[in-house]
């Protein structure tokens, strides 16, 4: 019996699809430079069905990639050649919100924003907030160790997952982590978070919720130059202020979002804009906001404004969070890069990225998490022009060279996927890569789970 | 405190030499820091044990003041580190529960958490990167020395609380914090066992400060004749005034009393529990007349003072019944827990990392 028939026995005939049009729709994720048509797409409805699917595929020697919202920007959920997409969208229940323990028990197909929405009545929220949070899923967030603007103060996904149920490569199931938050003994959960689906498939997760702060203030600071904005960021961090979020957009990025739906009315000649949010006790918020504004003033801020209402704050954030998509308003295609530098090196990093754009004749917009040094250069190009595609890929690698040269890393929150396999090999030494591979080989010795990701073929 | 960059290479070479020598002798190389938490040499396994003394190396390798990050030798004590960091208004908010002079490598290796866990996050969340000596791969860096990184697996987490199972920690890069500009300390205390009054006080204090974290620490200590609740807030002066007004008005609390954020005596076990489990464990301990401390925002509990034989096993069982995890620091080491469903995967990794078995392993009977 064939693999498709066996899969249908596990999940039912309607939950396995092999029609070409549908397979083409699943041939890529949000990293559109890699396309692989899968053998089939399967929708299990329970952890046991996920385990059954994994066992069937193991028996047939067919690799798989688990997929949530498909929003990976590094090709983490790009199908594997000859493989099956295991879609977790039917595992989409919020099973419990426990206000006393500040924990939500959720399935992997739950969309990120649903968690905070469910917890809101208890005055709680789920902190990791990737820009794709309206579409990305908790399972995908765990696989990619997702971040977001508000991770500056509150930490990334790794810091918010307490416990999880997992299906391993051979179909066995177990529970990893602990509700107490600090596992005793060997800690498989910490390896699973950020493993890009290469070690196991999460079928349930217990995520940490936190109280919504009493007060917050959002300050918008417009600068004439990127350097002034960068130096403001460095001084805020060095001054010991830990904002909830500290975001930057440069002129090109602003010119795109100001054509979109959420227009703030930024002046067209600005060099860069900072969006700084502080939260906490009312008195602390007032003090921190005043300090941020004083620092910005010392660095020549041209326009300084504090959100006067929740509506204004929401508009500013909507403007920022739709920046990636807004690139479509000024360019046929765009390629989002993701790298990290030490925060104090921001001014020189941005100057070097500008130089990369000039060298490769590529327009580069910058929208990024300045507070933690997590850069997101947006490389604009026309996908119909093969030469331009090649130049943009070269520029992307050159941007990561800048990050490595300044002592950083090739990914802050998008993962390695297929996109950055060569870049990871440049960041790590050969023994460090061998150590990474040893983990994959130990947990998935037959290379069934999302093979070809993170590592280049040997 | 050593300040010589040359120590960096010396530490790497010495660690690799020690691993090779242990391999030649068929011995087990066990890292030892201040020797407070490990009792490592008492019963690892049947092989001869060779200690790796991390305290030979105590250098701050790299300190980026504007980035609030520092790479530090594992043999440096947290107290010495914080003394240095204070020169630029920074600190590593570790503060192990009893104020003992643990080394940073020992804190990592034994999985020690401190009284600032609630206010400044668990210690392991402040680790950005490490250099480690690994039998199969030499000296390698795990993690990255920047505040955000998803490049590959989170290998540095393999070294948290695993007592050298996967290699010798040589350096740790930490995410630092700025020293608080102002502090407010509030206390309340009573004779007798822990009662609902304690939890009511903690709840009202938390409710009156709706933010994360509400306090830098909220420390409950119990002893045979009573209990004390200490709340310490960090921030700017206006916020601290608010804390004093808000909390001081409740439950007859005293204000700005001198209270070091530590527990008395040597901590002999540590647990972490869900909130309700923490309450039940502390009440049980209080009824039995035990001495213990708890950080109420984070679920941490520490037991201290002399413990009779078998007491830590009883405590481990009590903590497990209430959904917590337990680490004992008295008596011989009893080995890491390895869930049966994961045992073969971990064993493959252990074999790949430590093919000769030079480093401590785990015991079959430790399986949960």
CATH number of the domain enclosing A264: 3.30.70.2190
pLDDT above 50 (res A329) = yes
As a whole number of Å, the end-to-end CA separation of chain B is 42
Please state the length of chain B.
368
Structure confidence at residue B38 (pLDDT): 64
The predicted structure's pLDDT at residue B152: 96
Share of chain B above pLDDT 70, in %: 86
Say whether both A314 and A235 belong to one domain.
yes
So what's the pLDDT on residue B279? 93
Domain extent, residue A140, equals 94-211
Regarding predicted confidence, which is higher, B72 or B194? B72
- CA–CA gap between residue A433 and residue A58 (Å, rounded): 26
Residues A302, A389 within the same domain = no
Domain definitions of chain B by residue range = 6-178, 182-328
Q: Is A309 exposed, middle or buried (0-12, 13-18, 19+ CB in 10 A)?
A: exposed
Round to whole Å and give the CA distance between B144 and A416: 14
Mean pLDDT of chain B: 86
CATH of B6-178, one of 3.10.150.10, 3.40.50.980, 3.30.465.10, 1.20.1050.10: 3.30.465.10
**Top-confidence residue, B176 or B199:** B176
Do A424 and B152 lie within an 8 Å CB cutoff? yes
Instruction: Tell me which residue in A237, A281, A343 faces B209 most closely, judged by beta carbons.
Output: A281
The answer to whether A221 and A274 are in contact (CB under 8 A) is yes
Q: What is the pLDDT of residues A31-82, one digit of tens each?
A: 988 999 999 999 999 999 999 999 999 999 999 999 999 999 999 999 999 9
Higher pLDDT, B2 or A405: A405
The whole-number average pLDDT for the span B183-201 is: 84
Determine, yes or no, domain membership for A433.
yes
pLDDT band at B246 (very low <50, low <70, confident <90, very high): confident
Specify the number of domains making up chain A: 4
Measured from the Cβ of residue A197, the count of other Cβ atoms closer than 10 Å reads 27
* Token pair of A109 as six digits: 């197909």
Note the ipTM here.
0.95
**CA–CA distance, A452 with A111 (Å, rounded to integer):** 26
> Which residues on A lie below 8 Å from B236 (Cβ)?
283-284, 287-288
Inter-chain CB proximity B211 and A280 less than 8 Å:
yes
Q: How many other C-beta atoms can be found within 10 angstroms of the C-beta atom of residue A82?
A: 12
Name, in order, each residue with C-beta under 8 angstroms of A131's C-beta and a sequence gap of 6 or more.
A148, A149, A321, A323, A324
B-facing residues of A in 332-361 (CB < 8 A) are 340-344
pLDDT bin (cut points 50, 70, 90) of residue B365 is very low
| Mean predicted confidence (pLDDT) in B93-110 | 86
Largest alpha-carbon pair distance within chain A?
A: 73
Same domain membership, residue A342 and residue A320: no
Same domain, A202 and A224: no
Of B148, B275, B345, nearest to A443 by CB-CB distance is B345
**Side-chain-facing half-sphere of B127: CA atoms under 13 Å:** 30
Collect all residues of chain B within an 8 Å Cβ-Cβ radius of residue A340: 144, 146-149
CATH number reported for the structural domain that contains residue A72 in this entry: 3.30.43.10
Residue in the block written with tokens 């009393």: B257
At CA A84, angle to CA A82 and CA A85, rounded to 5? 135
**A275, A295, A327: which is the final residue of a domain?**
A327
Q: Does residue A203 sit in the same domain as residue A119?
A: yes
CA-based nearest residue to A277, from A215, A232, A322: A215
The whole-angstrom distance between residue A309's C-alpha and the CA centroid of its chain comes to 29
Residue A457 lies in a domain: no
Please check the confidence at residue B40 and state whether its pLDDT lies above 60: no
Give me the pLDDT at residue A349, please.
95
What beta strand segments (E) does A33-73 contain? 40-42, 64-67
Q: Is residue A43 part of a domain?
A: yes
Residue A6 DSSP code:
H
Predicted pLDDT at B6: 43
CATH no. of B182-328: 3.40.462.20
Its pTM stands at 0.94
User: In angstroms, rounded to a whole number, what is the distance separating the alpha carbons of residues A146 and A183?
Assistant: 21
Q: Are residues A27 and A99 in the same domain?
A: no
- The answer to whether residue B270 scores a pLDDT higher than 80 is yes
**A133 occurs within a structural domain:** yes
What is the distance between the alpha carbons of residues B306 and B313, in angstroms, rounded to a whole number?
A: 14
Contact B275 A284 (CB under 8 A): no
């Amino acid at each position: 019996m064939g693999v498709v028939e066996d899969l249908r026995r596990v999940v039912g005939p309607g939950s396995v699809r092999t029609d070409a049009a549908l397979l083409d729709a699943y041939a890529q994720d949000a990293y559109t430079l890699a396309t692989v048509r899968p053998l089939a797409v399967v929708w299990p409805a329970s952890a046991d069905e996920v385990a059954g699917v994994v066992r069937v595929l193991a028996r047939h020697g067919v690799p798989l990639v688990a997929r949530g919202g498909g929003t990976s920007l590094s090709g983490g959920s790009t199908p594997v050649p000859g493989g099956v997409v295991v879609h977790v969208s039917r595992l989409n229940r919020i099973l419990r919100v426990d206000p006393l323990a500040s924990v939500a028990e959720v399935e992997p197909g739950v969309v990120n924003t649903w968690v905070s929405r469910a917890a809101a009545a208890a005055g709680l929220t789920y902190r990791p907030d990737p820009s794709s949070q309206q579409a990305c899923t908790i399972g995908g967030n765990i696989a990619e160790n997702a971040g977001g603007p508000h991770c500056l103060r509150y930490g990334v996904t790794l810091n918010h997952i307490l416990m999880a149920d997992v299906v391993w490569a051979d179909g066995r199931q177990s529970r990893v982590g602990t509700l107490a938050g600090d596992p005793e003994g060997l800690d498989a959960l910490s390896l699973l978070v950020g493993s890009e689906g290469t070690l196991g498939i999460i079928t349930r997760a217990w995520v940490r919720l936190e109280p919504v702060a009493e007060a917050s203030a959002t300050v918008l600071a417009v600068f004439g130059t990127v350097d002034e904005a960068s130096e403001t960021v460095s001084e805020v961090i060095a001054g010991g202020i830990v904002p909830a979020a500290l975001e930057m957009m440069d002129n090109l990025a602003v010119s795109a979002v100001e054509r979109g739906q959420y227009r703030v009315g930024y002046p067209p000649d600005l060099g860069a804009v900072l969006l700084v949010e502080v939260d906490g006790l009312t008195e602390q918020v007032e003090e921190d906001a005043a300090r941020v504004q004083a620092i910005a003033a010392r660095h020549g801020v041209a326009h300084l404004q504090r959100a006067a209402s929740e509506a204004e704050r929401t508009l500013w954030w909507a403007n920022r969070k739709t920046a990636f998509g807004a690139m479509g308003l000024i360019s046929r295609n765009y390629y989002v890069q993701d790298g990290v530098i030490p925060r104090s090196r921001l001014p020189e990093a941005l100057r070097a990225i500008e130089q990369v754009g000039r060298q490769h004749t590529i327009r580069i917009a910058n929208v990024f998490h300045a507070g933690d040094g997590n850069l997101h250069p947006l490389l604009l190009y026309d996908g119909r022009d093969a030469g331009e595609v090649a130049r943009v890929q070269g520029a992307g690698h050159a941007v990561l060279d800048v990050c490595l040269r300044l002592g950083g890393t090739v990914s802050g929150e998008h993962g390695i996927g297929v996109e950055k396999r060569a870049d990871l090999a440049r960041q790590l030494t050969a023994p460090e890569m061998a150590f990474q591979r040893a983990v994959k080989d130990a947990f998935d010795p037959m290379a069934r789970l999302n093979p070809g990701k993170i590592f280049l073929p040997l | 405190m050593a300040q010589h960059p040359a120590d960096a290479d010396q530490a790497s070479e010495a660690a690799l030499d020690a691993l090779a020598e242990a391999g030649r002798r068929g011995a087990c190389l066990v890292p030892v820091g201040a020797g407070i938490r490990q009792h490592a040499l008492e019963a690892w396994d049947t092989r001869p044990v060779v200690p790796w003394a991390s305290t030979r190396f105590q250098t701050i390798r790299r300190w980026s003041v504007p980035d609030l990050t520092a790479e530090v030798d594992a043999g440096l004590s947290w107290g010495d580190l914080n003394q240095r960091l204070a020169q630029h208004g920074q600190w590593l908010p570790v503060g192990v529960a009893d104020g003992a002079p643990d080394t940073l490598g020992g804190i990592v290796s034994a999985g020690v958490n401190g009284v600032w866990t609630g206010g400044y996050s668990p210690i392991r969340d402040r680790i950005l990167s490490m250099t480690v000596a690994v039998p199969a791969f030499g000296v390698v860096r795990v993690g990255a020395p920047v505040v955000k990184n998803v490049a590959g697996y989170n290998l540095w987490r393999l070294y948290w609380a695993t007592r050298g199972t996967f290699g010798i920690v040589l350096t740790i890069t930490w995410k630092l914090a700025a020293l608080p500009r102002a502090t407010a300390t509030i206390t309340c205390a009573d004779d007798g066992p822990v009662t609902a009054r304690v939890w009511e006080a903690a709840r009202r204090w938390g409710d009156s400060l709706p933010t994360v974290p509400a306090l830098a620490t909220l420390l409950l200590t119990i002893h045979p004749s009573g209990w004390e609740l200490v709340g310490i807030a960090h921030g700017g002066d206006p916020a601290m005034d608010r804390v004093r007004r808000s909390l001081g008005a409740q439950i007859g609390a005293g204000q700005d009393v001198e209270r070091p954020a530590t527990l008395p005596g040597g901590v002999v076990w540590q647990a972490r529990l869900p909130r309700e489990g923490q309450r039940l464990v502390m009440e049980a301990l209080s009824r039995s007349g035990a001495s213990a401390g708890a950080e109420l925002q984070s679920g941490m509990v520490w037991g201290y003072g002399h413990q009779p034989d078998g007491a830590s096993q009883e405590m481990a069982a009590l903590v497990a019944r209430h959904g917590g995890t337990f680490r004992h620091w008295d008596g011989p080491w009893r080995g890491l827990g390895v869930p049966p469903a994961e045992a073969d995967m971990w064993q493959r990794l252990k074999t790949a990392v430590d093919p000769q078995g030079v480093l401590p392993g785990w015991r079959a009977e430790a399986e949960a």
